[in-house]
A and B are shown apart, each in its own frame.
Chain A
Amino acid sequence: MTDPKPVLRLRDIVKTFPGVRALDGVSFDVRAGEVHALMGENGAGKSTLMKVLGGVLAPNEGQIFIGEDPVVMTSPKQAKAMGVMFIHQELSLADELSVAENIFLGELPLKSFGRVDWDKLYADTDRILETLNVGFDAKTRVGDLSIANQQMVEIGRALTVDPRAVIFDEPTASLTDAEKVVLFNVIADLQARGVGIIYISHRMEEIFKITDRISVLRDGQYSGTLNTAETNEDEVTQLMIGRSLDLSRNASHHQMGNVALEVRGLSCGRLFEDVSFDVRQGEVLGFYGLVGAGRTEIAETIFGLRTPSAGQILLNGQEVQITSPIDAIKLGISLVPEDRKDQGLVLGMNCKDNMSLPQVGRLTKGPFVSQGAEIAIFDKYRDKLDIRTPGWRQAVGNLSGGNQQKIVIGKWLSMQPEVLIVDEPTRGIDVGSKSEIHNLIRDLAAQGFAVIVISSEMPEVLHVSDRIVAMFAGRVMREFTSEEVTEDNLIQAISGIKEQGPAGHAAASHGIGQDKALT
């Protein structure tokens, strides 16, 4: 195969912000018909590079070429006119409008007197939707679509012009496995049409599945390009962080204590039904399943954010009633929530205030909050969790994702809980921080905490858990010990496939419920 011509080249791009060289001479090119992964830790400069490419930021030095022509990108509109399209991580759709209106937003086809040419609009849209092979039509209201289908609409936008390069920024962040397959097919289609694809993601698995080449940024500098077929995860990770990431199995060797939390037959409407499990002191219990399997809802119910319709929760053998997070906190349950920006942190508040928030009412001296006590807590967990911040005065919104997550974890550890529930501990954070957080979870268990980890990433669940509860459609399908679990039987369990092998005790005791879920 002759080397296809690059559709897009960036040469020696430099972008500085006050005090920082965000991009330091980055060069990078995308060939026609290739999928080119762009990787790097958070803060490595990926977003800045894409903003330069999209005309949102002007580079201080360097040159962009489209085909053979040098161009100066001055606005997102111009980037689009040149055939450079972005599929953003955060969806920017108008929920109340139809699919067609969203796809052609800002450039609706018009008839005389500025009237919208609806026939043409719907016809054009349906043509685009056809190439995307989706199950909804042009007139569907976007707010009624699933996140995955909304993403398809976003992709549809990129197809209104004849794109030369399409940039996907973490497109699979909220997709299920089945939905990913559809997305990857669309990408393959674009590829076959000779479009150059830039694919930004933290997920190695996907990168190795669909990309041709991988370019890596580190601290604003270009650290290399690898041919996907000739490299492996270790090599990429090393380029990203200068060392490799350990994801080996990691069952505890220390002694487990008593059962700290037991849940019996817990149900919450149709979100989940008849869920039973227990977790011991010193143990990490993993919850694995597809998005929507009911894992987060179970955590929220235990934490008092939802009211169960049936079942019991026992702490240290005593049945407890939990009707609000206040109750849960009093009983020694902590929840590190799924979405750190919406649920975990007050972004405008400083690090210290965020960390002490759940117990600020207790840290008082006379009528006032004792700043000394707060700073002591912050310092303790900053050291313990290795949180990198200039100081407690820093607003958490300015920290990297990994450090933000550590603030949330520190906040809940400082409550000295009996049971710590961590929902998606490493979502959207970089590889280096990921492994730190994994180690931290293992350490907590070794110190005697009962830890529940909910995760959508299989390597993570396998890596940190002593036992794994597999969920499907609101039910516990099977419980695995770390010896019996394999990737295959875990995938089968979370896909609702009834397994043939020896059943774990949860699956055995809820065999009837399991059958019901499958019919």
Chain B
Amino acid sequence: MTIMTKQHVVTFVAKQGILIAFVLFMVGFAIANQRFIAMDNILGVVRSSAIIGVMALGVTFVVIGGNLDLSVGSMMSFSTIVVLDLHDKVGPAMAIPIMFALTLLLGAFIGFLVGYLKLNSLIVTLGMLSAIHGLTLTWSGGQNMDIADKSGTWFSFFGQDRLLGIPVPILVFGLLAVVLSLLLSKTAFGRQVYAVGGNGQAATFSGIPRARIVFLTYLVSSFCVATAGLLQASRSLGSQNTVGQGLELTVLAAVILGGASLLGGSGTVFKTVIGVLILGFIQNGLLLVGLDFYVQYMVTWAIIILAVWLDVAAKRGRLWSPIA
């Protein structure tokens, strides 16, 4: 029974492939550059991954529910610009809740289109990527947005301060990860998200309100985007209109790397966090070993494709197969 057949080995390698590759990368980077495993570098990586991470948490819900969200990058720019603009107009205490409300409204709109009108999520969120960008530019008049008095506001707390020695963005990311992990794995709502993404028809036959569940996944996603926008705005206290541009792909990459299936129904918050960290450390490592920043775009996507391949290989027990 305990003999490892070739199929066992393939399945094991494929299942744990991403972790194995990750460990190999880390060891390689650590040998190449001692700084890689220094505490301040590690904290730095987690901290800079926090914004991507927070968005990835929300997209995890959408993806498990069987849909996509390509609008998160564009929506994050919107949140950032809005909260910065309102900061000087109504004060940070009012700016933050208004920004959250507006972002949730966008999420609700997408959720309505995808959930209740049953439109294809790829098309809807691709369209919203562009539409929200237009909305952001209209709001800002195309100008960069800056807080007038950068040193005199407590607003910088979320992006720049530390609590108990840990950067606040990491705490926010960690706290949100725990809360959303509980929501997804322990509540009835979470279970219903898995059911709707795993087999929507069976969910309907089980009396699950499919449209409402999909709608709610987009609300969760937009809440996360608003949080990410807050962290971003608070960190830089000023921003371009395009601050979140392209992040939707990085976020999606982290979610897939974590092992969520794009077909829906599988994935966990914890795995997404792992995916986020893998991406963060690999990008950091590439920089530290002296590779050009632009190389990370290529390497990241090579890793994603490897991850998807290994996932498929694990399911069929061999690396290559003539039949599906």
In the complex, identify which listed stretch (B154-162, B183-191, B246-254) lies at the interface while the others stay far away.
B183-191
CA distance A325 to B7 in the complex (A): 44
Task: Produce 1/0 per residue, B3-18, CB < 8 A to A.
Answer: 0010110000000000
Report the minimum CB–CB distance from B267 to chain A (whole Å): 11
Structural contact, B199 and A342, CB atoms closer than 8 A: yes
A-side contacts of B323, CB under 8 Å: 56, 76
A-side contacts of B201, CB under 8 Å: 342-343
Report, as a range, how many residues of chain A touch the other chain: 20 to 34
Within 8 A of A (CB), among B172-217: 182, 186-188, 191-192, 194-195, 198-199, 201-209
B265 within 8 A of A: yes
A187 within 8 A of B: no
A432 within 8 A of B: no
Contact of B198 among A19, A328, A347 (CB under 8 A): A347
Interface size on B, residues (CB 8 A): 27
A-side contacts of B152, CB under 8 Å: none
Structural contact, B266 and A348, CB atoms closer than 8 A: yes
Task: Produce 1/0 per residue, A90-108, CB < 8 A to B.
Answer: 0000000000000000000
CA distance A364 to B182 in the complex (A): 14
Structural contact, B322 and A75, CB atoms closer than 8 A: yes
Known contacts A18-B5, A75-B322, A369-B186; A346 and B198 CB within 8 A of each other = yes
A453 within 8 A of B: no
CA distance A191 to B240 in the complex (A): 76
Known contacts A346-B194, A368-B182; A328 and B5 CB within 8 A of each other = no
CA distance A363 to B208 in the complex (A): 14
CA distance A339 to B115 in the complex (A): 24
Structural contact, B202 and A342, CB atoms closer than 8 A: yes
Chain A residue nearest to B199 in the complex (CB): A346
CA distance A341 to B310 in the complex (A): 26
Contact of A346 among B187, B188, B202 (CB under 8 A): B202
Q: Which of A326, A343, A349, A357: most chain B CB closer than 10 A?
A: A357
Task: Produce 1/0 per residue, B104-140, CB < 8 A to A.
Answer: 0000000000000000000000000000000000000
Structural contact, B204 and A357, CB atoms closer than 8 A: no
B163 within 8 A of A: no
CA distance A363 to B188 in the complex (A): 8
Q: List 29 A-B contacts (CB under 8 A).
A: A17-B7, A18-B5, A19-B1, A76-B322, A305-B204, A305-B205, A325-B206, A325-B207, A329-B207, A342-B199, A342-B202, A343-B202, A343-B205, A345-B199, A345-B202, A346-B195, A346-B199, A347-B198, A348-B265, A353-B191, A357-B195, A357-B202, A358-B207, A358-B208, A360-B192, A361-B188, A361-B192, A364-B188, A369-B191
Give the 9 A-B residue pairs with the shortest CB-CB distance, closest first.
A346-B198, A368-B186, A361-B188, A325-B207, A329-B207, A346-B199, A358-B206, A357-B206, A360-B188
